[in-house]
Structure 1
Amino acid sequence: MNVTIYHNPACGTSRNTLAMIRNAGIEPTIIAYLETPPSRADLKAMIEAAGLTVREAIREKGTPFEELGLSNPALSDDELLDAMIKHPILINRPFVVTPMGTRLCRPSEVVLEILPDTHKGSFSKEDGEAVLDPQGKRIV
C-alpha cells in the first residue's frame, strides 16, 4: 500500500503515527515537511481530502501564528495557505495520505481509519497508552 506521511520527527504525535503505520507492515514515504513542504496545490488538496477547513489545518502552538496575525477571522483561506507555505511550521501534523483516504492524524490513532487491518500485534504510544491489543485490534 502506498502511504505518505508529512512528518516532523520532533513531534510525538507524528512519531506515534509513523510507528502505527509501520506496525501495519507498511514502510511509508516520509516527507519531512519542514524541509520539503508540500506545494500550495498539494497542501490545499490534502486539507480538502481530509475534510478540514484551512483554519483547522493550521498549527498554533509553537509557531508564529499570533505574531503573523493569523487569528484574525477576516483572513481568507488563500491568505492562510500563503502563510502556511511561507512558514511550514504552521502546517499541522502529521498528515497521512493513503488510497483509503487522507487524515490529519491528531490524535495519532486517527491513522487507523485509513490503514488496512494488517497490524502486527499490540501497539502503545510513546506515553504508554495502549492503542492496539495483542491481536492488532483497536482498543476502544
Structure 2
Amino acid sequence: MDRKQVAKATTKVISSYLTYQAVQTVLAQLTETNPPLALWLRSFSGRKIVQDGEVYLLALLAESQELAFRIMTVRKQLVEDIMDDLPEMVFYEIEHQNSQHRKQQLEKLSQLSITEPNSHLESSSEQL
C-alpha cells in the first residue's frame, strides 16, 4: 500500500465531490436570482461530467469564466468549513461502518449455524 498514492487519490475524490457540491450550491442560488443562467449551468453540467472536478472546471472556464470562478470560490469556502471536522468524522464513520458490517456478518453466521442443525434433524426425521 502506497500511503501517498492513497492520500492523493482520496484528495482528488474529495476535491471533485466538493466541486459537485459547489455547483449544486451555485445552481440553487442562481435558480433564485437568475433562472436563465441557472438553466444554462444545469444544461452545461448535464453535458460535462462533474466526477472529475478539475476537468469540469477547465471546461467551464472556457465557457463562462465568471461562473467557474464563483464555483471555485464556493468550493474553497466549503473546504474551509469542513476541514477541521473531516478527518475525525471520516475516521469514526469508517470505524462505525466496519463495526456494523462485522455485526451483520456475525448475525448471518450465527443464524446459519442455528438453522443447519434443524435442517439436518428434519431430513433425518423424513428418512424415518
* TM-score strictly above 0.5: no
Q: What is the TM-score normalised by the length of structure 1? A: 0.27
Higher relative contact order (CA 8 A, sep 6+): 1
Q: Which has the higher strand share?
A: 1
Q: Which has the larger radius of gyration?
A: 2
Q: Which has the higher helix share?
A: 2
Q: What is the TM-score normalised by the length of structure 2? A: 0.28
